[in-house]
A and B are shown apart, each in its own frame.
Chain A
Amino acid sequence: MTPLDKTKPAANQRPKLPQELNILSVLIGVAIIFEILGWVIKGQSFLINPQRLTIMILQVSVIGIIAVGVTQVIITGGIDLSSGSVVAMTAMIAMSFAQVGTYARAVYPELTDLPVIVPVAVGLGVGLFAGMINGFLIAKTGIPPFIATLGMMVTARGIAKWYTEGQPVSFPSDDFAAIGDGVWPVVIFLGVALIFHFGLKYTRYGKFTYAIGANPQAARVSGINVQSHIIKVYAVAGLLAGLAGLVTAARAETAQAGMGMMYELDAIAAAVIGGTSLAGGRGRIFGTVIGTIILGLMMSGFTFLRVDAYYQEIVKGGIIVAAVVTDVYRQKKRAKAS
């Protein structure tokens, strides 16, 4: 029943509020809670400490880069569980092309001191390739995204371990290490977020992504090549996971097969807290950025208050579920109102 065309609901006569207002208020709320607790428990400010805030954003930049890719995957109605493992795989492989010649036990002793573009291209290529395989499996064989990317999650982690038989890869060139230096990870994260925020809004790629998530059959009948677009979306997600792998390795100046463990779940959580609907068709990068910052704020805040890591995880789990419950509730209210 849609009485809309008869009487305009009052809600629509008010000026429109940005959709992210809910999530933004959650962010502010979390910040204020930590600020108050800071004064009460430790007698000092939580927020007025630029160093702490910088470290906080640095900590979640890698998650943020992955979350951007995952957000667009979730908008198509899919999921990507492989990103954390792809981070490890690209970190290992890229690092093996970034080692300095003075290091005696390089993976490829004859391929040392290469220009930085080589490990970067290799890393992005590996990520892209992994994403394309995900997309191809999903689009062409029709298996659920959950299964396809679960397979990639296990396989990529295996490759990361197999590559050097479990040994870490270290001693990168200064140029490569510079990628992770200072605030570069934050710049890369925000740059990627900006590109995709506008990309999803103003390009055909973005419009098709939303359309496929909203109704794949209708998208097909509207002339969209759904299969090839799905492959593109997963490939982009893989590419961004690869980028995250580069940043992680560069920052740590070493690569290990255990890197990026559970990053995929943090990334999915950031997207979902930011208002992306797992049902597809709805979500924004801006929300994901805020979601990422909320995760960082909580991590940093608990550390500041010296709360045990165990409690941190328990609370984090609760917050993720609460975010989705709120979203579902809001959707229901909307549906009832119309």
Chain B
Amino acid sequence: MLSSKTSKAVKAYKENLTETVLEITGIRKEFPGVVALDDVQFRLQKGTVHALMGENGAGKSTLMKIIAGIYTPDKGTIRLRGDEIRFLSPLDALEHGIAMIHQELALMPFMTVAENIWIRREPQNALGIIDHKKMAAQTQELFDRLRILIDPLTEVRFLTVAQRQMVEIAKAVSYESDVLIMDEPTSALTETEVEHLFEIIRELKAHGIGIVYITHKMNELFEIADEFSVFRDGTYVGTHASSEVSRDDIIRMMVGREVTDMFPKIEANIGAPIMEVEGLTLDGVFKDISFQLREGEIIGMAGLVGSGRSNVAETLFGVTPATSGKIKISDQEIVIDSPGKAMAQGMAFLTEDRKETGCFLPLSVRENMQIAALKESYSRYGIVDQQSINKLCVEMETALRIKTPDLDERIENLSGGNQQKALIARWLLTKPRILILDEPTRGIDVGAKAEIHRLVSQLASEGVAIIMISSELPEVLGMSDRIMVMHEGHMTGILDRKDANQVKIMELAAR
């Protein structure tokens, strides 16, 4: 039997839970020619984290933007603390206590942390002169409350991504917001930073703030969210407490069908060594990397963010040439000091950041697919053989199931998964012998993920040697023949498929 004290606490907690901050019903939002949301509902309780789940294109971001006042819905009602309300602008929403923390952070790099937080609301004296001392003190007070360890007088440009996010959160809190929207806040954070973020989120919950949390990461959902709502194709599927369901349940709700095999590994015949790396070093970044890659083999590269995985890939491809070490391809020592040199050896490199180093956003899907292949082939005297390359583009579109109205559509209008497939097509058109994939499935939905896995497996079975970097251990374990683990710029081990498991990888990755 419960003591009266505990049951009181439980009762208080339950009362707290049932207090609805934000309630949305019957929302519809149309864009020219497309219904982005139809009859969508959502309810946020005080002091809880409510996750929005769904594939890319399901309507999460549109809903979030409606809550934040960026879009106005065509139909439906929004109730804030019981009162019906209609936001005219993000500022309007902010003044009503709804703050959004953007994926692309919106801070001014050459101003101090304190100036960023209090912009437009700076403490002033009678003459309109800003009281910097008071501003710093206010910031410190805020940071103390949230347990953030940043000097309010640092300029924002010196902060890490994680620290900038903390500043954004603090800024939102400074508006006394009681609804906070976070759009994939952990996508650029290391594991320790994620832990810190979660601590802050728990702190915010304890202060009664409701948090709308968008994520693609299932484990985060179970770790931080109290409940979650699933959306599919712009419609509302359902809301559940995250303690009630399993991972598979959620995937089923999101996809609307069973995804039977996430990692369709095809047994490939592993052939002769194609690439040998010896003592590869990039001063100050990584040191003494040695391994051998064979035809048809998939080497998974695991390690925490910041362990140097992506740097090794960039060096192999000549983006940042090595300071020392050897790379042999087909038994021939090659100095790779530019991506062009790497491509001449039959290498291809799908970069980690689709937007920064992948897509040519204002160009068409077709142009995005063609560009790398033009370097070596499909052109004569500099004139591009449009006909033959177009035919191959169409074949790729079908084979990779790229969903686009047509190949002349601008790539920026495609969903993340389809952009990624177009970029994979770009490299397949170069007919690579060695394919380096850096986070090939980051930020894309479950269905497209499985398709990319299938494709990678198939390429390996055709003899392509593959290096795949991934932060998702199940992906690394499911796809790789061997797994190379990195920690702080060093290679801490290579595990065979049969010996590898999550625990062993984490031991090597975290030490």
Contacts and interface: CB of A to CB of B under 8 A. Distances in A.
Interface of A: 1-12, 16, 202-205, 207-208, 210-211, 214-215, 217-225, 277, 279, 281-282, 336-338
Contacts, number: 145
A5 B367 contact: no
A4 B404 contact: yes
Given A221-B357, A223-B340, A214 B32 contact: no
Interface string B389-428: 0000000000000011110110011111010000000100
A202 B387 CA distance: 11
Contact of A7 (B33, B60, B339, B404): B33
Interface of B: 31-36, 56-57, 59-62, 65, 233-234, 317, 319, 338-340, 342-343, 349, 351, 356-363, 367, 370-372, 374-375, 379, 382-384, 386, 403-406, 408-409, 412-416, 418, 426
Nearest to A198: B383
A48 B234 CA distance: 57
B30 to A, nearest CB: 10
A131 B126 CA distance: 56
B382 A3 contact: no
A4 B386 contact: no
B343 A223 contact: yes
Contact of B384 (A4, A12, A202, A211): A202
B363 A2 contact: no
Given A8-B33, A218-B359, A223-B343, 17 more contacts: A1-B59, A1-B65, A2-B415, A3-B59, A8-B405, A11-B33, A202-B386, A208-B374, A211-B367, A214-B363, A217-B356, A221-B339, A223-B339, A277-B362, A281-B361, A281-B363, A282-B362
Nearest to B36: A3
Nearest to B427: A222
B405 A4 contact: yes
A6 B34 contact: yes
Contact of A338 (B317, B342, B413, B426): B413
A211 B358 CA distance: 11
Nearest to B386: A202
Nearest to A16: B408
B349 A338 contact: no
A303 B238 CA distance: 70
B367 A12 contact: no
A223 B318 CA distance: 10
A30 to B, nearest CB: 28
B319 A5 contact: no
Contact of B62 (A1, A208, A214): A1
A2 B343 CA distance: 32
A211 B368 CA distance: 8
A10 B383 contact: no
Given A203-B383, A214-B361, A2 B57 contact: yes
B397 to A, nearest CB: 13
Contacts of B363: 210-211, 214, 281
A205 B234 CA distance: 42
19 contacts: A1-B59, A2-B57, A3-B36, A3-B57, A5-B414, A5-B415, A6-B233, A6-B234, A8-B405, A203-B379, A210-B363, A210-B367, A211-B363, A215-B357, A218-B359, A221-B317, A277-B362, A281-B361, A281-B362
B382 A204 contact: yes
The 9 closest A-B pairs by CB, nearest first: A9-B33, A214-B360, A5-B403, A10-B33, A12-B405, A1-B61, A281-B362, A2-B415, A223-B343
A207 B379 CA distance: 11
A4 B414 contact: yes
Contacts of B412: 338
B371 A207 contact: yes
A222 B374 CA distance: 10
A220 B62 contact: no
Contacts of A337: 31-33
Contact of A207 (B59, B234, B358, B370): B370
A1 B349 contact: no
A1 B36 contact: yes
Given A1-B61, A214-B360, A10 B32 contact: yes
Contacts of A219: 360, 371
A315 B113 CA distance: 45
Nearest to B405: A12
A9 B339 contact: no
A12 B383 contact: no
A214 B408 CA distance: 16
A280 to B, nearest CB: 8
Nearest to B356: A217
A4 B361 contact: no
B339 A3 contact: no
B404 A5 contact: yes
Contacts of A277: 362
A206 B108 CA distance: 36
A225 B340 contact: yes
A222 B62 contact: no
Contact of A218 (B31, B36, B360, B379): B360
A4 B370 contact: no
A220 B234 contact: no
B44 to A, nearest CB: 20
A4 B413 contact: yes
A204 B426 contact: no
Contacts of B60: 1
Nearest to B375: A223
A207 B33 contact: no
A225 B61 CA distance: 37
Contact of A4 (B34, B342, B375, B379): B34
Contacts of B62: 1, 3
Contacts of B36: 1, 3
Contact of A6 (B57, B338, B386, B409): B57
A246 to B, nearest CB: 25
A123 to B, nearest CB: 25
A221 B351 contact: yes
B398 to A, nearest CB: 15
Contacts of A16: 408
- Which of A3, A10, A203, A277 has most B Cβ within 10 Å? A3
A19 B139 CA distance: 51
Contacts of B379: 203-204
A223 B372 contact: yes
A224 B32 contact: no
B31 A207 contact: no
A230 B239 CA distance: 54
- Which of A204, A218, A220 has most B Cβ within 10 Å? A218
A1 B372 contact: no
A204 B339 CA distance: 17
Given A2-B56, A223-B343, A281-B362, A7 B34 contact: yes
Given A5-B418, A202-B383, A222-B372, A215 B361 contact: yes
Nearest to A337: B32
Contacts of A221: 317, 319, 339, 349, 351, 357-358
